[in-house]
Amino acid sequence: MRVSAASAQRVIDIVTNFPSAVFQRDVIAGAREIFDHAGYPVNVVAIPEAPARLAALPFDKQNLAGCLVITFVLPDPVLNQLHERGIPLSLVGHQLPGGRIPGVMTNNRQGITMLMEHLIVTHGRKRPVFIQGDLLQNDGIQRYLAFQQEAMRYNLHIPPEFILRGDFSPEVAAESMQKFLTHDPDFDALVASDYLMAESAMNVIKASGRRIPEDVAVVGFGDAPEAAQAGLTTVAADITELGRRAARQLIGQIEGLRIRGLTLLSTELIERETTRSQPN
């Protein structure tokens, strides 16, 4: 499906699964600013189902200047094929082993470090539960590893049952939290790998009669108006800026720069009601 039509010039394709989802929408908006300014027409290519082969991709390779690929829309072999054909690529929120295809990512390690410091040092919490993201995605893996590392830094004993499955799905997160609460566990904080899972789990916690933040302080990764409305403490990078950075990286390659590795975007702590009371 093509959202916008390409002109006769060489164009840039932004490949994504759901262009109207919050994250994708903001990345596209930031990238468009830079591409427009540089005079590159943009196609947004929406592919809800990941194609197994390059030939199945609905874009015109003759006319293609470069491709900005958002998260996991294309499987790694397809990305490698594109790269081997010399098509400039930049990945947003994804990374291939070996770093040959450059990308831009939020600094997951820094973000989780900030959240844990906030909970443990500022608010004195000692028994956090973690809701994982999708462990097939880099963001999911990196945030989980960072949580484990930070738990060790503060010498916290995290029982295996305190690690809940979430898959970056609010429904899965709510279900995992519901099941977790049936054992009446002794926990005082929740760290979720994204803000949407934090919100849904928070609703389950409240329904169980626990008070937030008095009984359970809640934090999540990433930010959006929904998180602000829920009063959720988060860490977030500016996603529109992530799109701008990705676009600059892609234009750099189109103009002849050979780039490897990742551009990292810093995160900031946004403190709201889910942790605000009872400073230590």
Partner 1 sequence: MKPLKATREQIRQHNRQLLLRAVYTGLADNRAALAAETGLAKPTVSDLIGELIAEGLLVESGRGESTDSGGKRPTLVRFVPNARQVIGVSLDNGRAFGVLSNLSGQVIAQHYDELENAQGDDAAEILTAVINGLVAQLDAPLLCIGVGVPGVVDVPNGVVADSPPLGWTNYALVERLAQQYHVPVYTGNSAELTALAQYAFGLNSDDDSSKLVTVLVTNSVEVGITLDGTAYHQGGDISGLCAGGAERLDHLLGWPAVQARTAELRAMYRESLLPENGLTYMHIHYGAMNGDPAAQQLCDELSTHLAQIAAWIVGLLRPNHISLAGPIVNLGEAFLNQVVAKTETMLWPQVIRPVIFSLAYSGNLSAIGAAALALHRELDIL
- Give the DSSP letter of residue 217: E
Among 22, 262, 269, 270, contact with partner 1 (rule: CB under 8 A): 262
Q: What distance in Å separates the CA atoms of residue 104 and residue 177, rounded to the nearest whole number?
A: 32
> Minimum distance from CB of 39 to partner 1 (Å)?
17
Contacts 24+ apart (CB under 8 A), 49-58: 50/17, 50/74, 50/75, 50/78, 51/75, 51/78, 52/78, 53/78, 54/78, 54/81, 54/82, 57/15, 58/1, 58/2
Contact between 264 and partner 1 per CB under 8 A: yes
Size of the site for partner 1 (CB under 8 A): 23
Q: Which stretch binds partner 1 (CB under 8 A): 37-45, 49-57, 119-127, 255-263?
A: 255-263
Q: Which stretch binds partner 1 (CB under 8 A): 42-50, 152-160, 179-187, 192-200?
A: 152-160
Angle between helices 239-254 and 22-38 (to 10 degrees): 40
Q: Which stretch binds partner 1 (CB under 8 A): 1-9, 78-86, 95-103, 168-176?
A: 95-103
Q: Are 250 and 104 in contact (CB under 8 A)?
A: no
Contact between 107 and partner 1 per CB under 8 A: yes
Contact between 41 and partner 1 per CB under 8 A: no
Q: Which is nearer to partner 1, 88 or 133 (CB)?
A: 88
Q: Which stretch binds partner 1 (CB under 8 A): 132-140, 194-202, 214-222, 250-258?
A: 250-258
What phi, psi does 236 have (nearest 5°)? -150, 150
Q: Are 159 and 220 in contact (CB under 8 A)?
A: no
Positions touching partner 1 (CB under 8 A) are 98-99, 102, 107, 149, 152-153, 155, 245, 248-249, 251-253, 257-264, 266
